[in-house]
A and B are shown apart, each in its own frame.
Chain A
Amino acid sequence: MAKKAPEIDEYKYGFRDKDVSIFRTERGLTRRVVEEISNMKEEPQWMLDYRLKALEHFYERPMPQWGGDLTGLDFDEIVYYVKPSEKQGRTWDEVPAEIKQTFDKLGIPEAEQKYLAGVSAQYESEVVYHSLKEDLEDLGIIFKDTDTALKENEELFKEYFGTVIPYSDNKFSALNSAVWSGGSFIYVPKGVKTNTPLQAYFRINSENMGQFERTLIVVDEGASVHYVEGCTAPVYTTNSLHSAVVEIIVKKDGYCRYTTIQNWANNVYNLVTKRAVVDANGTMEWIDGNIGSKLTMKYPAVILRGEGARGNTISIAIAGKGQVQDAGAKMHHLAPNTSSTIVSKSFSKQGGKVSYRGIVHFGRKADGARANIECDTLILDNESTSDTIPYNEILNDNISLEHEAKVSKVSEEQLFYLMSRGLTEEEATEMIVMGFIEPFTKELPMEYAVEMNRLIKFEMEGSIG
C-alpha cells in the first residue's frame, strides 16, 4: 500500500481536550441517575415521571437482534450525563476559551463564521453557545436548546414531545427518553418561511459518555424551515454511544428539510431514531450523511398522513475498516396521493460493510400514492461488502412503486480514462467517489459541501492499495 490507512489514533478529529466539566453522573443507568439528571435540570414533575416510565421500558425491552452487532455495548460503563460548564453561554464571548479551541480544531468556522449568530452548538450534553439571529426572532421562530425550551415554552413543548416517537418505540428511544439532554427545539409559526438554515454542531468529548440529544421540530401550517446539524467526535479507547431521538411535525402545507452530516469516530455506536409526520400537502426532506462510527443503525422515517404529503430522503453511508453502516429510510404512505423518493448512496472500502435497509409501506387509504427508491452502492475493493434489504408493504392496489438497486465497482475503464489525463489512481478513485455521492453533496449548504468533500478526501486517503 502506498499510504497507510488512517488508524484510530490518527483520526483527524481525535484530539482530546482537558475535561472542563463541572458535574457528571456516576457510571451506569439507575433510577437515581435519571432522578439526578432531572433534578440538575430543575425539570417539572411530569418530565421526571416520563423519564422514569421510559427507564422501566428500557429495562424490560430486549436488545434488538437485527441490524448490527451490539454485544460490545455495555450500558453499565456509560456516563449518562455530563454538564460542561456552569451556565449556558449567552454570547460567543462567554463561551469558555477551551471549548472555542475545540471548535476551531474541528474547522467549523467556515460553517460558523457566516452564520455565527444563528448557531446552536452542543458540546457534551449541554448547549453551551446558543444565540438566535435577530431576524429569526423577529419572525417569531423559536430556536433554542431543548432543555431551555422545556423551561421557557413548556406548554408548546408538552403538546408535541414524545408524540411522534413514543419512548416505547424501541429500546434506544426508551433509553433516550430516560436520559435525554440537549438537542434543538424549533417552532416555526404559521406561514413563516426562512431561507437561513438553522444550524447546530454536536460533539462528544467525554470518555465513555453517551450523547442522548433530543430534537423536536414543529413546522406550523404553511411554514418552512431548514435545519442543519453536523457531528464529529474525538477518539477514545473505549466505546461511546450516541443515541438521539429526532421528532418532527410538519403541518398542512409546511416544509421541513433536516440536513445531517455525522462523522463519528471508529468506536462510536450510533443508534438514532428519526421520524417525521407530515400533514396534507406538506413536505419532509431528510438529507442524511453517515461517515465513520463502529456501528450506525439509522433509518429516518416519514409518516405521510395527510393527502398529497411528500417525503424525500437522500442519504449516503460510508463504511471503512471495521465499520458497519446499517442505514436506510422508511416511508409510510397513509393517505391518498402521497409521494416519496428515497435515494441511498453508499460505499464501502477496506473491509467495511454497508447495508441499505428500508421500508416503504402503502396503507389501505393510500390511493394514487407513488414511491421511488434508488439504492446505489459502490464497492472499492474485494474485502468490502454491501447488502440491500428493502421491505415493501402494499395494502392498496392503486399505487406505484419503483425500485432500482445498483451495486458497482469502480470500473477499470473509468480509472484508465481519468488516469490517462494525468490523475493518479487515488485522485481518479476519489473523483469517481465524489461524483457518485454528488446527488447528496449538491443538496448541502456550501460550507457543509466543502467540509463534506474534505471528509471524503480524508476517508479516501490510503484506500488505494
Chain B
Amino acid sequence: MAGSTLEIKNLHVEIEGKEILKGVDLTIKGGEFHAIMGPNGTGKSTLASAIMGHPKYEITEGSVLLNGEDVLEMEVDERARAGLFLAMQYPSEISGVTTSDFLRSAINARREEGDEIPLMKFIKDLDKDLDYLEIDQSMATRYLNEGFSGGEKKRNEILQLMQIKPDIAILDEIDSGLDIDALKVVSKGINKMRGENFGCLIITHYQRLLNYITPDFVHVMMQGRVVKSGGPELAHRLEAEGYDWIKEELGIEDETVGQNA
C-alpha cells in the first residue's frame, strides 16, 4: 500500500455557534506535501484542530475520511492511533512528565500490550532524532514543554513527529516565532519524513517556510474555504504579490471568516 489518504469533504465547523469553516474540500495522500496559506483569521488553525477532534469545535456538515474510515466518529486518541498527527501551534505544558516518558507512552500507545518498544532501542532512536534536530540531550529529561522557549516547543513537536511516525501529519504554524536557524532545523526534520507512506498538511501564513520545504500543492484559505489551489509557484506569487490579487479575483474585501463573499 502506498500510504494513506485523508479526504476532507465540504467540512463546516462552528465554535460556540459561530461558523468558521464553510465547506472545506481537500485530499491529502501519502507522499504528498500540501501547504495551506492565508492571512490570519481565515480558518486555517480551525481546520487543523477540527480534523484532530478538539472538543471545542463542532462539525455541522461534511466528512473527514482516513482510508475511507469516518474520522469524525473517532475519539481524539483513536484518530491518533489511526495515523493522524497534529503539531500544535501552542503545545500544552505537562508538569512532572518528562519528554522521554511521554514519548515512550505515545509510541507504546500504538503497539500491542506485551510488544512495547525495547528501552534501549527507544533511547537510541531518541538520541538520533535529538541530534538530527540539534536539540540538547537534556530535553529528554525536562518536563514536557514546561519552561521551553517558543523555538524549543516547535522543535519538540517535530521530535514527536519523527518519533511517532504518523501516516498523515498536520503542522499548524510550525514556523511561527522561529528564527532562521531554528526554521532550517525544523524544516530538515519535516523533510526527513518525506516518503510515499507520509502525507503532510503544512499550515502557515508565511511563504518563508516554503523556501525550505517544497510543497507539492499550495492552497489559499479565505473566509473559511479553500479559495485557490495550485503548485509551488502559487506560493512564490503570494510572496511577491501578497494576497490582494486573489481577493480581487474573487471580489473579496475582507478575507476573514466573519465575512461572506
Stretch among A89-97, A128-136, A248-256, A421-429 lining the B interface: A421-429
Contact B92 A411 (CB under 8 A): yes
Tell me the complex Cα distance, A436–B96, Å.
6
How many Å from the CB of A379 to the closest CB on chain B?
Answer: 16
User: Who on chain A is nearest to B93 by CB?
Assistant: A414
Contact A412 B56 (CB under 8 A): yes
The listed residue with most A CB atoms (<10 A of its CB), out of B52, B53, B56, B95, is B95
Q: A414-B92, A431-B94, A431-B102 are in contact. Are A421 and B109 (CB under 8 A)?
A: yes
Tell me the complex Cα distance, A31–B92, Å.
61
A contact residues around B160 at 8 Å (CB): 421
A contact residues around B55 at 8 Å (CB): 412, 416
Tell me the complex Cα distance, A418–B79, Å.
12
The number of residues on chain A lying at the interface, defined by a beta carbon within 8 Å of a beta carbon of chain B, is 24
- Answer whether residue A179 sits at the interface, using C-beta atoms and an 8 A cutoff: no
Tell me the complex Cα distance, A431–B105, Å.
9
Stretch among B2-10, B80-88, B235-243 lining the A interface: B80-88
Contact A427 B109 (CB under 8 A): yes
The number of residues on chain B lying at the interface, defined by a beta carbon within 8 Å of a beta carbon of chain A, is 28
- Answer whether residue B106 sits at the interface, using C-beta atoms and an 8 A cutoff: yes
A contact residues around B109 at 8 Å (CB): 421-424, 427
In the complex, chain B residues 1-36 whose Cβ is within 8 Å of any chain A Cβ: none
- Answer whether residue A413 sits at the interface, using C-beta atoms and an 8 A cutoff: yes
- Answer whether residue B134 sits at the interface, using C-beta atoms and an 8 A cutoff: no
Contact A438 B92 (CB under 8 A): no
Contact A419 B94 (CB under 8 A): no
A contact residues around B194 at 8 Å (CB): none
- Answer whether residue B143 sits at the interface, using C-beta atoms and an 8 A cutoff: yes
How many Å from the CB of A411 to the closest CB on chain B?
Answer: 7
- Answer whether residue B77 sits at the interface, using C-beta atoms and an 8 A cutoff: yes
Tell me the complex Cα distance, A417–B55, Å.
11
User: Who on chain B is nearest to A413 by CB?
Assistant: B92
Tell me the complex Cα distance, A435–B75, Å.
23
- Cβ-neighbour of B95 out of A413, A416, A425, A438 (below 8 A): A438
Contact A419 B96 (CB under 8 A): no
The listed residue with most B CB atoms (<10 A of its CB), out of A414, A416, A422, A439, is A422
The 8 A CB mask of B101-123 against A (1 = contact, 0 = none) is: 01001100110000000000000
Contact B77 A423 (CB under 8 A): yes
User: Who on chain A is nearest to B145 by CB?
Assistant: A417
A contact residues around B81 at 8 Å (CB): 422
In the complex, chain B residues 54-105 whose Cβ is within 8 Å of any chain A Cβ: 54-56, 75-77, 79-81, 85-86, 88, 91-92, 94-97, 102, 105
- Answer whether residue A437 sits at the interface, using C-beta atoms and an 8 A cutoff: yes
Contact A420 B76 (CB under 8 A): yes
The 8 A CB mask of A35-53 against B (1 = contact, 0 = none) is: 0000000000000000000
B contact residues around A411 at 8 Å (CB): 92
Tell me the complex Cα distance, A422–B110, Å.
7
Q: A427-B105, A427-B109, A431-B97 are in contact. Are A419 and B56 (CB under 8 A)?
A: no
How many Å from the CB of B81 to the closest CB on chain A?
Answer: 5
- Cβ-neighbour of A438 out of B97, B102, B106 (below 8 A): B97
Contact B97 A435 (CB under 8 A): yes
In the complex, chain A residues 391-450 whose Cβ is within 8 Å of any chain B Cβ: 411-414, 416-425, 427-428, 431-432, 434-439
User: Who on chain B is nearest to A439 by CB?
Assistant: B96
A contact residues around B77 at 8 Å (CB): 419-420, 422-425, 427-428
A contact residues around B91 at 8 Å (CB): 417
A contact residues around B75 at 8 Å (CB): 419, 424-425
Contact A420 B85 (CB under 8 A): yes
Q: A422-B109, A423-B77, A427-B105 are in contact. Are A435 and B95 (CB under 8 A)?
A: yes
Tell me the complex Cα distance, A345–B72, Å.
37
How many Å from the CB of B196 to the closest CB on chain A?
Answer: 23
- Cβ-neighbour of A434 out of B86, B96, B106, B110 (below 8 A): B96
User: Who on chain A is nearest to B56 by CB?
Assistant: A412
Tell me the complex Cα distance, A418–B81, Å.
12
Tell me the complex Cα distance, A413–B57, Å.
13
How many Å from the CB of B109 to the closest CB on chain A?
Answer: 4
- Answer whether residue B164 sits at the interface, using C-beta atoms and an 8 A cutoff: yes
The listed residue with most B CB atoms (<10 A of its CB), out of A412, A413, A421, is A421
Tell me the complex Cα distance, A437–B55, Å.
27
Tell me the complex Cα distance, A278–B160, Å.
48
User: Who on chain B is nearest to A417 by CB?
Assistant: B92
Contact B102 A419 (CB under 8 A): no
Contact B80 A419 (CB under 8 A): yes
In the complex, chain A residues 438-465 whose Cβ is within 8 Å of any chain B Cβ: 438-439
Contact B86 A435 (CB under 8 A): no
Contact B95 A423 (CB under 8 A): no
Contacts A413-B92, A416-B52, A420-B80 supplied; 13 other A-B pairs, CB < 8 Å: A416-B54, A416-B76, A418-B94, A418-B102, A420-B53, A420-B86, A420-B88, A422-B109, A423-B77, A424-B75, A432-B97, A434-B96, A438-B95
Residues of chain B at the chain A interface (Cβ within 8 Å): 52-56, 75-77, 79-81, 85-86, 88, 91-92, 94-97, 102, 105-106, 109-110, 143, 160, 164
Which are the 10 A-B pairs with shortest beta-carbon distances? A435-B96, A438-B96, A422-B109, A419-B76, A422-B80, A435-B97, A421-B106, A417-B92, A419-B77, A414-B92
A-B contact pairs, 8 of them (CB 8 A): A419-B76, A420-B86, A421-B85, A422-B80, A422-B106, A424-B109, A431-B102, A435-B96
